């Protein structure tokens, strides 16, 4: 299966994607996560990308596209994969289409998670992420048992550098200007599947599972 997880920042693509990836036993490829890992490792590419990510701006297409092309050619993607946060521009989407075609692969669908701006801002400003395992929490909606400590691994919970109010505003603007046009790009291709994401994670997961079951079939157990 090859699916895109689509939607504005803070809509829950990562949270929902992790569940779907587990259910269908495919890897999830998050370009944002790749950039955060490269930056944490202090690589030149990570430092270059951080110039953009820290301000909430999109990283130039050529950098992102090369990373994704390398990643989807890896052995663990042979039975399919989910893309979280890619493509984010029409140019990236067109290149992805050609890349998959060259590899003899086909995009099965685009899960479009939807919520209003107020809800996105509330989620992003309250989001905390484990610095060790990447688990995400929300200070009010999904707090950890002990403040600032990950329930899963005991790691320290931190706020993402781009979850500040100014960077969030830039990210939402970038989404509207450059990424939202992809909705009609994929609608025209008959690939778009909407999921109402303005609800608690378990409810959204059930909605996404129902949409996927119709679009793709149930996971092999
Ligand atoms: P995310 O974790 O998906 O919210 O991504 C965090 C940041 O990484 C974004 O705000 C961008 O700066 C950068 N990024 C992630 N994916 C892409 C992409 N496909 N194109 C350009 N920049 C990206």
What are the pLDDT digits (tens) for 138-181?
Answer: 999 889 999 999 999 999 999 988 998 899 999 999 999 999 99
- Compute, in angstroms, the gap from residue 81 CA to the centroid of ligand 1: 18
Angle between helix axes 44-53 and 31-41 (nearest 10 degrees) is 120
Closest ligand 1 atom number to CA of residue 60 = 21
Q: Is 55 a catalytic residue?
A: no
Q: Is 13 a catalytic residue?
A: yes
pLDDT value of residue 134 = 85
pLDDT value of residue 215 = 87
CA–CA dist 198, 70 (Å, integer): 34
pLDDT value of residue 177 = 97
Out of 36, 171, 193, 207, pick the active-site residue.
Answer: 171
Ligand 1 pocket: which of 58, 67, 129 to mutate (most atoms <8 Å of CB)? Answer: 58
Out of 19, 71, 132, 160, pick the active-site residue.
Answer: 160
Beta bridge partners of 87: none
Spatial contact of 125 and 172, defined as CB atoms under 8 Å apart: no
Q: Is 160 a catalytic residue?
A: yes
Spatial strand order in the sheet of 28-30: 28-30, 81-84, 2-6, 109-114, 192-196
Out of 36, 123, 127, 128, pick the active-site residue.
Answer: 127
Ligand 1, CB cutoff 6 Å, lining residues? 9, 31-32, 35, 52-53, 56-59, 64, 85-88, 92, 162, 171
**Would you tell me how many other CB atoms lie within 10 Å of the CB of residue 145?**
7
What percent of the chain lies above the pLDDT cut of 70?
A: 100
CA–CA dist 17, 111 (Å, integer): 10
What is the residue-averaged pLDDT of the chain? 94
Ligand 1 pocket: which of 4, 15, 31 to mutate (most atoms <8 Å of CB)? Answer: 31
Q: Cα dist. 205→111, 191, 194 in Å?
A: 12, 19, 13
Mean pLDDT in residue range 80-108? 97
Q: Cα dist. 129→69, 95, 161 in Å?
A: 27, 31, 11
Site of tokens 């603007």: 173
pLDDT value of residue 53 = 95
Residue nearest to atom 2 of ligand 1 (CA): 32
Radius of gyration of the chain (CA): 17
């Amino acid at each position: 299966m090859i699916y895109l997880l689509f939607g504005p920042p803070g809509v829950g693509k990562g949270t929902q994607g992790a569940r779907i990836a587990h259910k269908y036993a495919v890897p999830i490829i998050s370009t944002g996560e790749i950039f955060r890992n490269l930056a944490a490792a202090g690589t030149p590419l990570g430092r270059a990308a951080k110039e953009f990510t820290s301000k909430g701006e999109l990283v130039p297409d050529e950098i992102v596209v090369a990373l994704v092309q390398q990643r989807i050619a890896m052995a663990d993607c042979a039975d399919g994969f989910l893309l979280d946060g890619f493509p984010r521009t029409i140019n990236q989407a067109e290149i992805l289409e050609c890349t998959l075609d060259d590899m003899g692969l086909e995009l099965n669908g685009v899960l479009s998670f939807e919520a209003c701006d107020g809800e996105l801002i509330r989620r992003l400003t309250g989001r905390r992420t484990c610095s060790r395992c990447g688990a995400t929490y929300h200070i009010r909606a999904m707090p950890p048992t002990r403040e600032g400590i990950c329930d899963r691994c005991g790691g320290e919970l931190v706020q993402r550098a781009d979850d500040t109010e100014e960077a969030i505003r830039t990210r939402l603007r970038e989404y509207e200007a450059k990424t939202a046009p992809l909705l009609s790009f994929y609608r025209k291709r008959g690939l778009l599947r909407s999921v109402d994401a303005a609800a608690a994670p378990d409810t959204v997961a059930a909605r996404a599972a129902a949409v996927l079951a119709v679009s793709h079939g149930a996971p092999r157990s």
